[in-house]
Amino acid sequence: MPKLKTHKGLKKRIKISAKGKVKRPKAGKSHLMSGKSGRKKEHLRKKDEVSPAFSKNMKRALRLR
């Protein structure tokens, strides 16, 4: 049985916290930022937590135990 490979695209996009939570960057900040308020831009800079049900699938794709 060969080794299973990690999903490299997902590995570059998410981080796993020390407690095992999956953090991802928020969408909608690549362009058209001039029309957004400063408060909106500030919130887009923060990381967002993925729901526990979906983070299970992400950890499986990264081959984490």
Query: How far, in Å, CA of 51 to CA of 5, rounded?
Result: 24
Q: pTM value?
A: 0.75
C-alpha angle 50-55-56 in degrees, rounded to nearest 5: 165
- 44, 29 Cβ separation under 8 angstroms: yes
pLDDT, one tens digit per residue, over 20-49 is: 999 999 999 999 999 999 999 999 999 999
The CATH number of 6-60 is 4.10.410.60
More confident residue, 14 or 1: 14
Confidence bin at 2 (pLDDT 50/70/90): confident
Whole-number mean pLDDT of the chain?
A: 92
What confidence score (pLDDT) does residue 18 get? 93
